[in-house]
Structure 1
């Protein structure tokens, strides 16, 4: 019999009693770079014997995406019994890149490429489009994690040249490998039961793709079902720590929509902090619930580090000398938020209780997300810790409990690699004001603020 993972972190309960899957320290490996991650992913695919499940926002039609897809088809040809499934967001797969012009009568997006690959290779690698919402603006598949045999490869990265550092530029993320058959099967079971069996889910590598408008009712039902979906695992694998000392373990979490289990766990984890919180997010736009818990933690005397991307390290940033696009104002919106937060907490910054760090490494970009709390909890997630993630997208996470600090060396190495390219904000005035921004950005932000559309932008972007 299986039991849903529904007991969350609660300050009134011992966190040692959280249901979890036991881990061995030597089965956990943290990678520190995108190129190393790409090489490991290809290595794991080549050696797969039983199953490969890749879940990503998108697999892009570029050199890195082609390399991964070719590796999948090669693995399938060598071992026809391999169970392979690629899951991507339904909407993202059927549109072109932002700003890309669509030719009349021409199908755009990665779906056309998936179909071409399927024709060339005689299928074998099904690609499923997951429609979390009837419109991309209001929700996408943001579920992370690849399962190859009994290895879980978890990262916030999608599959394209920059995420996998295939060419000169890279987008820095987090990269974790866990060898654990229970965790791997738990994640695959969720995909099979709650995603692949849904009537709203369709293959994108086949030519007969239904129009979104024709499956809107299916999508709405699917989203309601996802709100109730949970990771499940056998009872004997649920941690029972009341009589034995806590050991290294992992708890998989998933959620979509307001007040979902993952949101609750994030907030309650922050609320339970006693000495230290470290937060990584590429877009400084906390939901109110997260801001509230961070403020409360600072009042309790908790040391807080927040590492965010500099606006030029944001994946939406466009240099001022290039043609302006509305989407390129987003990095400036996030900086406005950060400056406002820093100003409100200038006293905490001066006391060195709050440390705000900006990540910047040349023309590369920053995509890290996650939490470290009290040196014994680490949350690995694709959740951006923003209102969109908390309300619209389907998100998941792996919460690692390490009370004996068996992974301390890996934790420190990862944090050191992140901090290496950061600068510390010593005063909120070091951040630019709106009046300092390029003229098109300044005009747009002023207009949005006047009609209060900036608040809507914060919620959905």
Structure 2
């Protein structure tokens, strides 16, 4: 469904009373501008129209300095619409100032994807961005003329919005007047209680309304679910715990997520308690939205390959042969569909919304879902067809498939994830370590880029005549001749040399070579296979050295006050002394490794690049 053309844009122009959009961010392409133009057109001709937009503050303001942010587009209607920007209360202080904008979203987001037009609700896992409009597989379920459902989600959006920032028409943001606690400058507990109470009023009003309503005999029921673990609401979490622990062998479950990495508790329920059959659909590496990304983000697809490998290992360990893993691959497309389908002999249920079932979805993000349960045969058939279409581009993922090149897991990724999956490391600790690790990684990668030296070349035997030719061309172009009877020229013809002049001559030759080969095309004939591993190993060693030295004062204090024994103190002291020594030895060794050897197209020159301590290539000779 091209919902930008068939639904969202058309309804934005034709809505009579209200438009409420909740999304992670709004893109800045032509399709997104067309959507804002449609809303702007409707606002100008309909004075009774109320427009509300809820975005995540971190994603919505990304790129604002380059005028390429969500707020850049939305400020055109900010004087007639209400634009909320939710900021997680977990990103504060020094961490907020230091984390780069492409990394800070790991701390927590506004992730609800709700598109409401009058009394109709389109719920999805997709954002309002061009890639979702064109070549990204996702889910969209439309609930037409469901006033109670639309009212509930509009009230939920407003409850979150009144504890958020407001976008002004000049592009600036200010705190909502009804928000008495600043999201990231105030006390977390006070902000949590404020937002929790407002969400609670919305949920309580729905429960009161349902309690007073007459019992329905409908064959289809809808249950809106709120998952906001940060504020104490765990409706999806409680549902999935019951569902995934089912012992009913007649039940079949399909789970889909473009970023499949469900929490450990779900995994244990699936493999150690569940008796149902289950299919899991996730993105193939090339269908992952981070495939080919620069920097640490480029490792994301291999991280999910590692997750798939672990799932297959658990399948074998628990002999759950009725649990199968599939990967979605469609040329030119990425995979972002998420949800759950449950089939029993009498009913079909589906869970549709924004959750990926991972740690962030359960504990940190704002998520909204709808659970649909039906015994209507026509609707059951439609849900079956929707699920089947995902498998049209999916293939079974097994051990053989994981050995393909696109599923290669770098050693550093494997080692890091194994360390973080230690049973003694809590999941919340992992989420706390990841931002710091990404921050350090980015800073060190920037350092590597600054340390990279200019390319230099060395001569092969085939270039001896070439150098003389280059010198001749330089003399001709400068119009300066040489006296053939000068001592320097005679020594060259007779095969002699002048020690006093040889160093200066070599420097002139090298400079001439550098100038003449500036535009040469170089072809690599050898690359050190472990260059990336060397980069990360060097950084890890540096980080370990700094941590060891910085920890020494604390361990000394613990020993003095009697909170630590002598063995602990002497161990940390020895580590603090030995770590810098090992660092020096380590850096000296890396400088001797050849990183790359390249030749020009005519094979006249060879360029040799050595590794620096940081593992980066530094071309020299």
TM-score by length of 2: 0.58
- Are 1:129 and 2:101 an aligned pair? no
- Are 1:345 and 2:324 an aligned pair? no
Q: Secondary structure at the match of 2:351?
A: strand
Which has the larger displacement, 56-65 or 397-406? 397-406
- Between the aligned partners of 2:156 and 2:30, the Cα distance in structure 1 is 30
Tell me by how many angstroms 1:176 deviates.
Answer: 0.6
Which has the larger displacement, 224-233 or 70-79? 224-233
Q: Kindly indicate whether the alpha-carbon contact (under 8 Å) linking 2:21 and 2:116 is maintained by their aligned counterparts in 1.
A: yes
Q: Kindly indicate whether the alpha-carbon contact (under 8 Å) linking 2:89 and 2:183 is maintained by their aligned counterparts in 1.
A: no
Match of 1:431 in 2: 402
Q: Deviations over 1:127-170 (max 9, x none)?
A: 221113353331110112111001001111001111111xxxx1
Tell me by how many angstroms 1:219 deviates.
Answer: 8.0
- Are 1:186 and 2:152 an aligned pair? yes
- Between the aligned partners of 2:44 and 2:378, the Cα distance in structure 1 is 40
Match of 1:289 in 2: 265
Q: Deviations over 1:79-110 (max 9, x none)?
A: 121010111101111123xxxxx9xx756633
Tell me by how many angstroms 1:361 deviates.
Answer: 0.4
Tell me by how many angstroms 1:271 deviates.
Answer: 2.8
Match of 1:114 in 2: 74
Q: Aligned to 2:413, which of 445, 451, 458?
A: 445
Q: How large is the Cα RMSD of the aligned pairs?
A: 3.3
Q: Kindly indicate whether the alpha-carbon contact (under 8 Å) linking 1:134 and 1:219 is maintained by their aligned counterparts in 2.
A: no
- Are 1:233 and 2:206 an aligned pair? yes
Gaps of 5+ in 2: 92-104, 436-621
- Are 1:248 and 2:233 an aligned pair? no
Tell me by how many angstroms 1:324 deviates.
Answer: 4.2
Tell me by how many angstroms 1:265 deviates.
Answer: 1.8
Q: Aligned to 1:177, which of 142, 154, 160?
A: 142
Q: Secondary structure at the match of 2:410?
A: helix
Larger radius of gyration: 2
Q: Kindly indicate whether the alpha-carbon contact (under 8 Å) linking 2:32 and 2:130 is maintained by their aligned counterparts in 1.
A: yes
Which has the larger displacement, 408-417 or 211-220? 211-220
Higher RCO structure, 1 or 2 (CA under 8 Å, sep 6+)? 1
What are the within-5 Å matches in structure 2 for residues 261-340 of structure 1?
261-272=235-246, 274=248, 275-296=251-272, 298=274, 300=275, 302-318=276-292, 324-340=294-310
Tell me by how many angstroms 1:401 deviates.
Answer: 1.4
- Between the aligned partners of 1:345 and 1:215, the Cα distance in structure 2 is 43
- Between the aligned partners of 1:210 and 1:124, the Cα distance in structure 2 is 16
Tell me by how many angstroms 1:400 deviates.
Answer: 0.7
Q: Kindly indicate whether the alpha-carbon contact (under 8 Å) linking 1:73 and 1:125 is maintained by their aligned counterparts in 2.
A: no
- Return the structure number with greater helix share: 2
- Between the aligned partners of 2:37 and 2:138, the Cα distance in structure 1 is 24
Which has the larger displacement, 201-210 or 353-362? 201-210
Cα gap change, 1:190/1:160 in structure 2, threshold over 3 Å: closer, same or farther? same
- Between the aligned partners of 1:313 and 1:418, the Cα distance in structure 2 is 13
- Between the aligned partners of 1:36 and 1:342, the Cα distance in structure 2 is 36
Cα gap change, 1:414/1:273 in structure 2, threshold over 3 Å: closer, same or farther? farther
Match of 1:409 in 2: 381
Tell me by how many angstroms 1:315 deviates.
Answer: 0.5
Which has the larger displacement, 151-160 or 448-457? 448-457
Q: Kindly indicate whether the alpha-carbon contact (under 8 Å) linking 2:282 and 2:328 is maintained by their aligned counterparts in 1.
A: yes
Q: Kindly indicate whether the alpha-carbon contact (under 8 Å) linking 1:434 and 1:442 is maintained by their aligned counterparts in 2.
A: no
Cα gap change, 1:172/1:38 in structure 2, threshold over 3 Å: closer, same or farther? farther
Tell me by how many angstroms 1:339 deviates.
Answer: 1.0
Tell me by how many angstroms 1:40 deviates.
Answer: 1.4
- Are 1:58 and 2:25 an aligned pair? yes
Q: Kindly indicate whether the alpha-carbon contact (under 8 Å) linking 1:131 and 1:219 is maintained by their aligned counterparts in 2.
A: no
Match of 1:361 in 2: 330
